[in-house]
Structures are given as structure tokens and as C-alpha cells.
Amino acid sequence: GENVEQHPSTLSVQEGDSAVIKCTYSDSASNYFPWYKQELGKGPQLIIDIRSNVGEKKDQRIAVTLNKTAKHFSLHITETQPEDSAVYFCAASSSSNTGKLIFGQGTTLQVKP
């Protein structure tokens, strides 16, 4: 079945350090991979996404890489700041092509000042 594995489940870094979150998806037909940030008491917010025809995408301190052969994709946050502390979810599009997204279990990132 459709599945997305996300690691680690928790991550603690010092302010200024980098953070990396990794995901693996099961469905080779997935072609869209968004990342969401969820702050306490709020809904998940799209922060970056990548499509299967691209290997890497950057937006300021955030980057996402995709390895379609290995079915891996990763979120990289550089120069972390306390306001980056949140739960991060990766997702992969369903092969059913309905727009449905399959989410990973989430990573709680804590950035210590």
C-alpha cells in the first residue's frame, strides 16, 4: 500500500546549526513531494515542494532533495533559528492521481537558542 516513512521523529539542534529530515516513499508513481510545517495549535503550512522532474529545490534557508531511484527525499534547513521549532511533515502524492497526499509521521524539531 501507499506509505511514507519519516525520520527522525524528534530532532534537537543548536541555533545556527543545520537540520536534516529524511523521508522514504513506497509508490514509484508518486510525482509530487511537499513539506509542511505545523506550529502548535495551527494547521500544517506548505513550506516547500518538489516535483519528480527536479532533483533539488532551494528557497532561502530551506532546500529539498529528491532521489527518485532510491525513493528518498529530504528537507534541509540551514542556519536554524528558534522560530523554526515546529513539527515538520513530508508527503508524497498518491498514484491514484486524485491529488491525495500520503503523509509521514512527522518530525518534531527543537532549535535551542
Q: Which residues sit at the interface with other proteins, rule CB under 8 A?
A: 6, 32, 34, 36, 41-46, 49, 89, 93-94, 96, 98-106
Choose between 14 and 97: whose C-beta lies nearer to other proteins: 97
Query: Any residues with CB less than 8 A from the CB of 35 and at least 6 apart, and which?
Result: 46, 47, 48, 49, 62, 64, 75, 88, 89, 90, 91
Q: Minimum distance between the CB of residue 30 and other proteins, rounded to whole angstroms? A: 12
Nearer to other proteins, 99 or 113 (CB): 99
